Structure 1
Amino acid sequence: MKSVMHTFFRICVYLAIVVGCWLPVSSYTQQNVSYASLTKDCLSITWPHEESDLQPDDTLHFGRLQNGLRYVLMRNAEPKDRVGLYLNVQAGSLYEDDSQQGLAHFLEHMLFNGTTHYPPGKLIKYFQSIGMGFGGDTNAYTGYDETVYNLLLPSASEKALDEGFLVLADYARGALLLEEEVNRERGVILAEKRARDTAASRVRKEQLAFDFSGTKISKRNPIGKEEVIKTADAALLRSFYDTWYRPENIVVVAVGDMDVTQAEALLKKHFAPLQGTPHQITCPELGNVAKKGKDTFYLYEPELGYTELSIGTVYNIQPHADTRAWEKLQLQEYIAVSILNNRLEKISRKAGSPFTEANVYKGIFSGQFAYINLVVQTGKDTWQESMALLKNSLEEMLSQGTSQAELDRVKKELTAHLKKQVQTAETRDSRALAKDIIRKINSNEVMLSPEQELELYLPMLENMTLDQVDRAMQAIWGRERRLYEVVGTADLRDKEQSPEDIILKSVEHPVAVDGFTWKDDHSVKFPYLEINTPPAAIVSREFDKDIKVQRVTLDNNVVLQIKSTPFQKNQVNVAIHFGHGKAGEPEPGMAMVAEPFVLESGVGRLTAEQLKEALAGTNIEYRFNVRPESFVYTGSCLNSELEQLLQLLYTALHDPGFRDNAWKTTQQRLGQLYDRLESSVEGMMQIKGETFLEGGGRLYGLAEHQQVASLSMEQVVSWLETAFQSAPLEINIVGDVDEEQAITLVRKYFAGHERKPAKSSPAHQVSFPTGKQENITVHSSIDKALVTVAWKTNDFWDISRTRRLNILASVLDDRLRMTIREELGATYSPVVYNRSSRVYPGYGVLRAQLIVASGQAETIAEIVKRVAKELTNTSIPESELHRALEPTLTSIRDYKRDNRYWLDSVLSLATRHPEQLQWPLSILPDFQSISVDDIRQIALEYLQPEKAAMVIISSPQ
C-alpha cells in the first residue's frame, strides 16, 4: 500500500529532510529469517520478499554477489535508450556518532572530488562530455538512513553501461579523500548550509527534535554541525567511509532501456572484486519516544510568514515484515487518515474558517517510529480558534465515526489511481521506478507491479467497512502521548504564563468555535451544463506531416491542435489558451490573485470541494494559470476520461464560480506568502529585483503586497469575465488520443459561443538598467546574500540566436561553478540562464545568480563579471563547447519524446506564432551546428562588463 500512499497522498515533511549534492554475483537463495534478526547488525542481507507472503514484480531481476552486495535490474522503455543507475548506501546521518555529525553528507560531496578512476576535477567534465548534465543526470542525496547516488546514462550501449558501473563502483570503494580536496569542499558544504537555511527549514528542524525527543533522530540533521564541517579531515571521513561503504551495506539498482543480461555481466565485472574493510561496526541506537504525556512546543519565527499549529503523536513500533495482513492494516489506516484529511480541507474552505490550509501527515520513520500530525496554517491572532477547531474535528471523528459517503469517495479515488497505474505501466519513467525500488527496499517493503497492487488492494477496498475504518482511526489515536505545537508568527512571549502553558490551556479549555459541526454536504451532480447547440462547423482542417500535428479551425474562432503520441500510454494532456494573460493586466497584482482565486472558487454550481468530490473516481487534474501572453487552463487524464475533462474545462470557462469566500481565503494566503517573501533574499528578488531588471515593468516579477491587498474582487472578476466569455480559444491536445474522437468532442462542447476575433496584444516597452546596481536589504536573521549579475540580450523570436544564448549561459554557468564553487568554495550552486521575452520586443536577460555570505556579495559580483568578460576575450576551447552542448543534445532527444514539450513549447500559442511549428525540425541540427565562433560572437555582443546590471539582496550583517 505504501507505494500508492507515497504517490497518491501527501508525504510528511520529515521525509523531505534530506540533503542533495546539487549544483545541483550469484543468484540469491530463499532464507527464512525475521526482519528484526536481519537488522540487528545494521547490515541487511536479504530482500523484503524473502520474509513475506507477497511475491515481487516478476520483471525485477534480483541478485547478490559473494561479497554481499545486492542488486536489482529491470528493463524499462522510457526514456528511450537511457538507463538509470543508482548506488544505494544504507547509511545516513543516523549512523554518525556525536563527533561525526555531517560526515555522511560530506562524503557524498567528496565522491565527486576524486576516485580511483576519476582524479579530482575530472568526473563532472567526463559526465558532461558524454551528454550528462550535472545536477540533472548525475546527482546524490543524503538522508537519515541512506545515501543515494544516481546516474542517468545518455545511452544504453554496452560502453555507457560499462562506464556507468565503473563510476558507481568507484563511489562504493574507490574514494581518494585527498586532504586538499577535503579542505576545498568544506567551503562548498558551508555554502550549501547557508543556501538551505530558511525560516521553514529551521522550524522543521526544531519540530523534528521535539517530536522525536528521546531518540537519536532529535539530535541529527543530514547537513550536520558547523564545527564538524569546519574541522573534519580526510582521516575522519575515511573512518566513516570504511565503516559503512561496504558491499554488504550497498544495493545497486539499474532500470532502463537495456539488455538485463548484459547489464548483469557488467555489474559483476565492476562490483564483484570489491571488499570492505575490517572496521568494527557499532549499530546506531535510536532510543525511544515517551509513551505518554501531553507535550507542547512553541517557536516564535516571524519570518515563517504564518502561524502553523498541529496536534499529533509519535510512538514506538517494532519492525514489521511486509505481509498481506500488514498491507491490509496499512490500507485501513490510510483510508481513515484520508477521510480526516478531506474533512479538514473542507473546513479550511468554509466561510469564517480560522485556518486557510490543512493537511494530515502519517508515516513510519526509520522503521521504529510511527507518527501522525494534523497541521493547519492560520494567522497570528486566530491560532486559538484554529486549535479548538482542529481538536474538535479530531474528537468528532473519533466519537462519531465516518460516513459511508466519505468512505465511498476515498474508495473511488484510490480505485481510480490503482487502475491508472495499470493502464500507464507500459511507459513508466525509469527514474521514478528506480527511486520507488530504493524506497521500498530501504523501508523493507515488497516491490509489486501495478497489476499486483490492483489485485491485492481492490478486493480489500471493495470489502472495506465503516467499522474497519473507524477501528483503524481509533488505533492510530489510541496512544497516551499527545503533541501540541504552535510555531511561526503568533507571539506568545512576555506573558504572565509561559507559551507552553498558554498552549496547553488552549487545548484543555478551548475557545468556542461555532458553525463547523461536521455533516455530509449534498453535492450537485457533474456535469450539469446541457449542450443544446449543434456541433461547431469545421472551417478548415490541415495536417502538418512533418511534425504530425492536426489543426482544425471551427466557425466560432476556436482552433484545435492535436498531436497523437505513444510516449505516455493511455494519457492525454490538454491546454486551452485565451486572452492576453499578464500582458493585459489592468492593475499590478491581478494575475497573482487571479490564479488561486479561480481555482479556489470552483465552478458556478459547485464549490472547489464539491467539484473534487464530483471528480472522485477519475484521474482528472486541472489548473488555471495566468501566463505572460495568455490565460490557460491545463488538464490531464486517461484517454478514456477525455470527454469528462473537456466537460470540466468547458464548465470552468462558461460557468466560472467567483466566490466571496474564495476571495477572502486567497487574500489571506497571499498575505502569508508575502510575509515569507519579504523576509528572504529569494523572495525580495521576485518582488523588487525582477522589477529593477525589467526597468519598472511587472511582467516577470511580483507586485508589491500593498498593490495586491488593495485590489477588489470586482476588479479581478471584471478583467477575467471578458476573456472567459468572448476571447478566441486555442485548444491543444497531446497524448495517446484518437484524433477523430477529440475533434468530435471539441466541436460538441465548444460550439454555440461566438468568440470575437482577438485584439492585438498591448504594446510593451521596457528599459534595461544597463550599468546600474540595486542594493536591497532584507530584514532577516539569516546571514546570506543573493547576487544577480545580468546582461540585456534580446527577445525570443530569432530562435537560432536564442538557442546560442542558452548555450552561452551553459558555458558561463560551468565556468562559475568551477571558479566560485570549486576553487573558492563561496557558493553552493550558481545558476545561469537566459530568458528571452516573448512579449517585450528586443528584450531578454541573461543572468547569473548566486547565494553567498553577505560580506562576500560585492566581491563575488565582480568575479562574475570578470569570468563573463573572459568569454569575450578569446574563443572557448572546443572541448568546453562540447561539454556544454552534449547534455543539451541529450535533453533535446528526451524532449521530443515528451508530451509536455509538444504541448508547451511547440503548440502553445502557435495560432499567434505559427513559426513555432517549424522549431522541432530545426532544434537538433541547429544546436549541433553551434560553433566556438558563434559563442564568442554572441558573448562579445552581450557580455561586456559595462553593460551588466547588478542586484545584491542581503540581510544586515
Structure 2
Amino acid sequence: MRGILGPLAFVLALAAGQSALAAEKTANNAADKAVERKADHASARANDALGIDPNTSVIQGTLPNGLRYALKHNESPRSGVSIRLSVAAGAYDAEEGEVGVAHFVEHMTFAGSGPADETAYANAFQGFGVDHGRDRNAHTALHETSYELDLPQAGAPALDLAFRWLRQVADGATFPAAVVETEKGVLLNESRERQVAAYTAWRDLAVFEEMGARSARRAGPDPVASIQATTPARLKAFYGRWYRPDNAVVVMVGDLPVEEMRRRIEAAFGSWKPAVDSPVPPHAPFEAIDLKAPAAEDIIVEPNGVPTLAICRNLQGQDDHLDTLPKLRAQAASDAWASMLNTRMERLAHQPDAPLASAAWAEDDNDKEARGACVTVIPRDGDWRRAMAAAQTELRRFAAYGPSAQELKDALHDLHNQYWNAHKDEERGASPTIAAALADALSQGDPIPGDDADKVFDRATAGMTVDEVRAAFAHDWSGTGARIAFVTTSAPPAGALKTAWAEGEAAPAPTAGPTVAAIAWPYASFGKPGKVVARQAFPTLDMVRLTFANGAVAYVKTLNGEAERRVTVDVSFGAGRHALSADQVFIAALGGRLTPYMGLKRIGYMDMKRALQDSTWNVDLDIGDTQNNLVGTTWPSDLGVQLQVLAAYASEPGFRTDIDASLAQGVRMGLRIMRSSPGAAVQLALDDAMRPGLPSLMPSEQRISSIRAADFADLLRADLTSDPLEVVVVGSIDEKTATPLLAATFGALPPRAPVDRTRADAWFMKGLASPLPPITVTLPGAKTAAVGAVWPLWQADPAHRREEMAMQMAGRIMADTLRKRVREQLGKTYSPTVQVSLPDQSDQGLAMALVDTAPGDLDQVRAEIASVAAGVAAGQFDQDALDRARAPFLAQTDQARTQNLWWAGLIAATHGDPAKINETVGERDLVASLSLDEVKAAAKRWFSPAPTLITAVPEAPGAQAAGAP
C-alpha cells in the first residue's frame, strides 16, 4: 500500500480530466513570475487611484542600504517565527556560459563554507527543533532565489542563530574548490532525479511552445555539462553581482512584536553592503519573439512518455504585474475565457465517445517572453486527429458565438474565489504559509490585498461583459501561427499535424453549443432531523460524543488553534484493507480517490461545483488500513453545506460511468510515472517478494484496461451506504452550532446495522524475519539509480510503544548520519531518506533507507549504508545526537496538536476513546523521556541484522516502454 497510494494523485489528475502538463505549468507559474525591477514601483502606485491598496496588517519598509522588508505579527503557531530571504536573481539571470550557476550558488550559500560548516548549522538548528529540509530549505526559481526558515520556538538564542546563518547567506559565503567539486555530485544527482522521460518530454514540448525563449530553456534541470564546468570563480562572480541588499527582500512573520522583528532585521542586515559599489546590474531583458512566425509542428518521440498534444499561439510577453485594477481586470477577462473553455472541454472528456482523456486551456500570464494561449490535450488511445479536431471545434465555436451570460457568471465566481484564496494566505493562516506568500508577492512586485482580496477582485471585474471576454479571447488567440507539439510513442508523418490543423480551420463553422442553465443542489434536505438520544462530555479534551436515534455517532471538538479558523469533518466507516483481498487493494484505493469525481446519484461532480459555488467545501475518500474515511474542510459558516456533501456521498454515491472512457488510460499513464520513482519501485518490489507465486499488488496492463466505475461501486458502495457511521467535527465550532447541522444530515439518515466485512484473505505484509536475496528493479525512462535497505520490525501495538518511539529516534539518527556522510561529505546523493513505519493492526513494521545516486556509485552507496547502519547498531551516537533527532520531532508534534486534521484523524482512528486518545497525545512526553540507553538498545536489536537490499537501476537504452497507454 505504501508504494501504491502515493502516486495516485497523478492518476487522479489525469482520470478526473486535468492535464498533467497544465498542472505542472500552473505550479511553475507561481514560482516563475519575474521580479519587479522598477525602483519607484511602490511609490508610483501609492498615488495611483487605480492601484490596489496594500494590506495594512503587513508592515513594509526599506533599510538605508536598499533592503526591503515585510513584517507581520501572527500567533499560529504560538512562539514560532518564519523568516524568508529572497534575492532577485535566478536561473533566468545566468549568462549563457553559466547556466545553472544560480542554483549552484544556492546550494553553496545554504551549506556555508563546507561540510563541517553545514553539519554545524544543521546540528545547531536541530537543537531548536528545526528539521533539515522541512523547516530550513531553499529554492531557485527563474527570477529569484529564496531561503526559508521556520523556527518553532523563537527565543533569543534561536533567533541569533537564524540571523547569523541568513547573514552568512547574504554576503559571507565562500566557494572552496574542494567543496565545489563535492557539491557537483549532489547537483548532478538532483538533475538526474528530475530527468524522468515523461517530464523531460513535457519540458521539450514547453520549449517548443514558447519558441525556445530563454525562460523556457532555463526552466528544466540544470544541464550536466554546465554543472561539471562550474568553477569557484564563476560562482563568486554571480554571487557578487546579485547578492546585495538593494536586490533582496526579507520577510518575518510570527509571534513576536513587530518592532522586535524590525530591530532584528536592522541589526542583522543594516551593515550589508554590495560587493561592488555600483547600482544593481540590469536583469536580462526578455527576448523578442517572431510574431510573424507561421504555423509549426514538433514531434517528440518518447517510448516512456505520456501522449500529449499541445497547440499554442504566442504574443510578446511583458515584464509586468497585476498591481492595478485595470491590469487585474484584463487578466480576469483572459482567465475567464480559459475557465469557460476548460469547463466545456471537461464535459466533453466525460462523454462516452470523447476523443480525449483530458484537456486544459490556459492563457499564460507568466511574464515570459512568449505569452501563450494554449490548449493541452491528452488524446484517448493516442488518437491525436480526433483529439485535435475536438479542441479546434470548441475553440472555433467560442470564437464564433462567445460565452453565455451564465458561463460568464460562473467563471467570474470561480475566479473571485481563486483570487481570494491565492491572497488570503497573506492575511491569515500559519506563519510559514503567510511568510512564503508575502515573500513571493514582495519579490515579484505584486500587491498584497490580503483579507480584502475578494473586494479587490469584485471592483476590478464589476460590469464585465460577454463582449469584453470575447475581445480578450480574440486578442490572446492571435500573434504567431499555431505551434503544434505532440509527445508520442510513435511519430505520425512529418507535416501531418499542421495539415490537420489547417484543414480544421477551413472546415465549416461549428454550430452553437448547448445552453448552460443554473443548477440546483438536490441534497439540501435528508428528511426529518435526527434526535440526540445520548450525550457524553469529555471536558479535558473539550469534546462531546453525541449519539443520534438512528445510531449515528458524532464527536464535536472545539479547537481554536488554527489561525484559519476552519472546521474539519472526518466520517469513518468500514474495515479498510481488512475488508479487501490482495487483488482488490489497488482498485479500492484508486476508487476511493476517484469517488468524489464520480459524483452523486442525483447530480454529477461538475454540476455539484456549480450548484455549490457560493460555499467552500471539499471531499476526499481514503481507504485506510483499518477503516475508510470521508474528509472535508470548510469555514464554520459553510459547515452545513460540507455536512450535506459528505452525507450525500455516504448515502447516494454516484459511481457515474462518465469517467470510464478515460479511466484506463489515466491509470496507465499514472503508473508509468510511478514506475520511474525509486521509492515506489523499491516498495513494490518488496511487496511482490513477500508474496512469491502470487500476482503483484499492482494490476496487470490487461486488468488496468478493464477497470470501470462499476468496479469501484462493487467494492465501495455497500460500505458507504450501509455501514455504521462515526462523524468527527473539529475546529472553530461549538456543540450548540454543530448539533443541529449534524442532526439535519447524518442524524437524518436511515439506521444502519453493524456488519463484519473483514475477510480471511485480506493481505498484510508479515513474516519478513530474515533478509531476502538481493533484488534489482528497473526504472523505465529514468536517469537515476537508488539503493533501498529494508530491516524488518514488528507489528505495532500499544504494549511496545516505547520501543517503537525509540526506533523512530534511531531512524532519525541514521537519517542524519546518512545525509551528512553520503550527501554532505561525499556528494553521492541528493535526497537520502530513512523511514520507520510501524502502523497498528496493519503491516509488519519496516525501517527503510533509500538513497538515490548515480548508477556508477551504487556499490559505494551500498557500502556507506552498511557502514552507517552498523555504526548506529553499535551505539556510535551520543546524547547530543539523540537530542538533535528528538527536538524537531517534539516541535512537529506540538504543532500537529494545534491542527484540525490531526485531531480529526486521531478521534476517528480511536473511535473517540479518551484512553486511546490520551495514549497518542502522551507519545510526545514518552519520546521526551526516552533515555540514550533505550534508543541504543532498540537500534542494536533491529539494525544489527543484515537488511534486504533492493537496487533500482535505469532501464537500458532502447528497452521496451513500461506499457503503451
The TM-score with structure 1 as length reference comes to 0.90
Give 1:807's aligned residue: 809
Tell me, yes or no, if the aligned pair for 2:657 and 2:708 is still in contact at 8 Å.
no
Q: Which of 232, 235, 239 lines up with 2:233 in the alignment?
A: 235
Contact 1:787 1:849 in 2 (8 A): yes
Alignment correspondent of 2:193: 195
Could you tell me which of 168, 171, 180 is aligned with 1:170? Answer: 168
Partner SS for 2:927? helix
**Partner of 2:144 in structure 1?**
146
| Structure 1: distance between partners of 2:720 and 2:921 | 34
Q: Which residue number in structure 2 is paired with residue 508 of structure 1?
A: 502
2:570 aligns with one of 566, 571, 575? 575
Task: Work out the CA distance in 2 between the residues paired with 1:36 and 1:565.
Answer: 40
Q: Residues 515, 929 of structure 1: CA spacing in aligned structure 2 closer, same or farther, 3 A cutoff?
A: farther
**Structure 2: which amino acid aligns with 1:486?**
F
Q: Give the residue type in structure 2 aligned to 1:796.
A: A
Written as runs of structure 1 = structure 2, the 5 A alignment for 1:325-404 is 325-366=326-367, 368-404=369-405
Alpha-carbon shift at residue 790 of structure 1 (Å): 0.9
1:614 corresponds to: 611
Report the Cα distance in structure 2 between the residues aligned to 1:698 and 1:630, rounded to whole angstroms.
Answer: 25
Instruction: Please state how far the C-alpha of 1:832 moved relative to its aligned partner.
Output: 0.8
Alignment partners' CA distance in 1, 2:417 and 2:603: 22
Deviation at 1:220, TM superposition (A): 2.6
* Superposition map of 1:491-640 within 5 A: 491-492=490-491, 497-498=493-494, 501-510=495-504, 518-522=513-517, 525-528=520-523, 530-533=525-528, 535-538=530-533, 540-566=534-560, 567-586=562-581, 587-588=583-584, 589-640=586-637
Match of 2:650 in 1: 653
Q: In the alignment, is the contact (CA less than 8 A) between 1:298 and 1:485 conserved in 2?
A: yes
1:902 Cα deviation after fit: 0.6
2:170 maps to a residue whose letter is A
- Structure 1 residues 758 and 383, CA gap change in structure 2 (3 angstroms): same
Alpha-carbon spacing, 1:149–1:516, altered in 2? closer, same or farther (3 Å): farther
1:199 shift after superposition: 1.9
Aligned residue identity for 1:245 = Y
Q: Which amino acid aligns with 1:543?
A: A
Cα distance in 1 for residues equivalent to 2:58 and 2:21: 27
Pick from 713, 716, 720 the counterpart of residue 720 of structure 1.
Answer: 716
Higher alpha-carbon deviation: 108-117 or 435-444: 108-117
1:951 is aligned to 950
Distance 1:949 1:912, change over 3 A: farther
Where do residues 86-485 of structure 1 align in structure 2 (5 Å cutoff)? 86-115=84-113, 119-213=117-211, 215-221=213-219, 223-278=221-276, 281=281, 283-292=283-292, 293-304=294-305, 306-320=306-320, 322-366=323-367, 368-415=369-416, 427-451=428-452, 453-485=453-485
Match of 1:25 in 2: none
The corresponding residue for 2:745 is 749
RMSD: 3.2
Partner of 2:16: none
CA distance in 2, matches of 1:423, 1:189: 35
- Higher alpha-carbon deviation: 504-513 or 568-577: 504-513
Q: Secondary structure at the match of 1:611?
A: helix
Q: Deviations over 1:883-919 (max 9, x none)?
A: 1011111111211111111112x11222287653113
1:830 match? 832
Please tell me the residue identity of whatever aligns with 1:822.
Answer: E
Of the structure 1 ranges 569-578 and 319-328, higher mean CA displacement relative to structure 2 is found in 319-328
- Partner residue in 2 for 1:668: 665
Alpha-carbon offset, residue 529 of structure 1 = 6.9
Higher deviation after alignment, 778-787 or 343-352: 778-787
Find the counterpart in structure 1 of residue 926 from structure 2. 926
Q: Name the CA distance, whole Å, in 2 between partners of 1:488 and 1:685.
A: 28
Distance 1:510 1:417, change over 3 A: closer
Q: How far is the alpha carbon of 1:193 from its aligned partner?
A: 0.9
Residue 825 of structure 1 aligns to a residue whose secondary structure is coil
* Contact 1:413–1:617 under 8 Å retained in 2: no
After superposition, the Cα gap between the structure-2 partners of 1:532 and 1:97, relative to the gap in structure 1 and judged at 3 Å, is closer
Contact 1:102 1:221 in 2 (8 A): no
Q: Which has the higher contact order (CA 8 A, sep 6+)?
A: 2
Counterpart residue type for residue 752 of structure 2: R
Shift of 1:424: 8.7
1: CA distance, partners of 2:34 / 2:218: 23
Larger mean Cα displacement after TM superposition, 893-902 or 462-471: 462-471
Counterpart CA distance in 1 for 2:874 and 2:655 is 57
Distance 1:400 1:113 in 2: 58
Deviates more, 1:802-811 or 1:426-435: 426-435
Looking at structure 2, the residues matched to 217 and 419 of structure 1 have their Cα atoms a distance apart, in angstroms, of 28
Amino acid at match of 2:314: V
Cα distance 1:220–1:427, how it changes in 2: closer, same or farther (>3 A)? closer
Query: Residue 605 of structure 1: SS of its match in structure 2?
Result: coil
The equivalent position to 1:79 in structure 2, one of 69, 73, 77, is: 77
Deviations 1:202-236 (A, max 9, x none): 12331332233353224434643222312322222
User: Structure 1: which 5+ residue stretches go unaligned?
Assistant: 1-8, 21-34
Distance 1:437 1:712 in 2: 45
CA contact (8 A) 1:872 1:939 kept: yes
- C-alpha contact (below 8 Å) 2:426/2:437 kept by paired residues: no
CA 1:774/1:744 → structure 2, altered by over 3 Å: closer, same or farther?
A: farther
Distance verdict in 2 for CA 1:408–1:16, change over 3 Å? closer
What's the CA shift string for 1:315-373, capped at 9, x where partnerless? 21444462222122222222222222222222222221121222233333346542332
TM-score (structure 2 length as normaliser): 0.89
Aligned to 2:24: 13
Give me the identity figure in percent. 22
**How far is the alpha carbon of 1:73 from its aligned partner?**
1.5
How far apart are the structure 2 equivalents of 1:220 and 1:246? 23
| 1:896–1:218 CA distance, 2 compared to 1 (3 A) | closer
- Map Cα deviations across residues 87-123 of structure 1 (whole Å, 9 max, x no partner): 1110111111122111111111111332599935322
Q: Report how far residue 686 of structure 1 moved.
A: 5.1
Per-residue CA distance 1:420-475 (angstroms, 9 max, x = gap): 78999874222222222232233322221222x23322244452222222222222
Change (3 A) 1:238 1:189: same
Q: Which residue of 2 aligns with 1:24?
A: none
3-state SS in 1 of match to 2:149: strand
Going from structure 1 to structure 2, the CA distance change for 1:227 and 1:375 (only over 3 Å counts) comes to same
Distance 1:475 1:723 in 2: 52
- For 1:65, the equivalent position in structure 2 comes to 63
Question: Structure 1 residues 832 and 393, CA, compared in 2 at 3 Å: closer, same or farther?
Answer: same
SS of the residue aligned with 2:295?
Answer: strand
CA distance in 2, matches of 1:465, 1:18: 27
Residues 365/642 of structure 1: CA separation in 2 closer, same or farther (3 Å cut): closer
Partner amino acid, structure 1, of 2:950: V
Q: Give the counterpart letter for 1:955 in structure 2.
A: P
Per the TM alignment, residue 381 of structure 1 is displaced from its structure 2 partner at its CA by 3.0
CA distance in 1, matches of 2:66, 2:925: 47
Quick one: which amino acid aligns to residue 403 of structure 2? Answer: T
CA distance in 1 between counterparts of 2:592 and 2:511 reads 27
Distance 1:514 1:935, change over 3 A: farther
SS in 2 for 1:164: helix
In 2 relative to 1, CA 914–86 (structure 1 residues): closer, same or farther, beyond 3 Å?
Answer: same
Say which of 675, 681, 689 aligns to 1:692.
Answer: 689
TM-aligned CA distance change 1:705 to 1:815, over 3 Å = farther
1:299 deviates by 0.6
